[in-house]
Structure 1
């Protein structure tokens, strides 16, 4: 009975307080893909606009990406926080296979083609849930 109540409250909490953003879906703990981008000219508003537009278009058209979070670094409040990047992207997938299909899909290739020249560095961290 205790387990049943726990499950009930967990489901209620997810439904009642879950993400409401239409572009955000449930966080899938099977596979997380985190990408950090450093633009060559981060002070250029034109470069930022082009990058954000292309990245948003890519995320809107990806058939495999679940959670789609695009961020910028906040002002670092602690020495352990690395805020040197220009943009971050966190995407989750139902499996490593789905993530590989995402790498090969046309919207991903178009994103790289459109704005790959704008960045000077990209670091990717992939992780599988435990």
Structure 2
């Protein structure tokens, strides 16, 4: 009786672990195929100590989510992580966008909402750096 119970628990645990691993792999593969274009932008504020300016910029970036070709948008501020030589925490706000294709990213660049964002928020930043990538 004890042996059967152990076999059942072991089998159940193995199946659960396999299901979780398969689910994690298939969801990451799905995202890779679905949104392979990544657009990551870093902003440095003219007034780096101003939380008001930072919050205005964050709010402005979030308006970009209305652009239909942006499939996912993440907005971030510098995290209080461990200081290391390889970590650049000199920026203030970042946006991370995912697109289905290069045409969608090109549409975003000239979209009226994006142009309005630049018009309304460019006075807040001193420097912008963009990294565009495609999943491989």
Deviations 1:32-63 (A, max 9, x none): 0000000110212321222122111222x111
* 1:54 matched to 2:60: yes
Q: Partners of 2:77 and 2:40 in 1: how far apart?
A: 13
1:68–1:90 CA contact under 8 A, matched in 2: yes
2:54–2:93 CA contact under 8 A, matched in 1: no
Q: Partners of 2:87 and 2:25 in 1: how far apart?
A: 34
Deviations 1:78-130 (A, max 9, x none): 22111110011110100111100011111101110000111000000001111
Q: Partners of 2:25 and 2:86 in 1: how far apart?
A: 36
Q: Size of the alignment, in residue pairs? A: 114
* 1:102 matched to 2:108: yes
What are the ranges of 5 or more consecutive residues in structure 1 without an aligned counterpart? 19-25
Cα drift, residue 11 of structure 1: 7.1
Higher helix share: 2
What are the ranges of 5 or more consecutive residues in structure 2 without an aligned counterpart? 1-17
Q: Partners of 1:73 and 1:49 in 2: how far apart?
A: 13
Counterpart residue number, 2:73: 68
Q: Partners of 2:79 and 2:24 in 1: how far apart?
A: 32
Q: Partners of 1:129 and 1:63 in 2: how far apart?
A: 21
TM-score of the superposition, structure 2-length normalised? 0.73
Question: Which aligned segments of 4 or more residues in structure 1 are displaced greater than 2 angstroms?
Answer: 8-14, 26-29
Deviations 1:8-41 (A, max 9, x none): 9327974xxx9xxxxxxx5744110000000110
After superposition, the CA RMSD in angstroms is 2.6
* 1:80 matched to 2:86: yes
Counterpart residue number, 2:4: none
TM-score of the superposition, structure 1-length normalised? 0.76
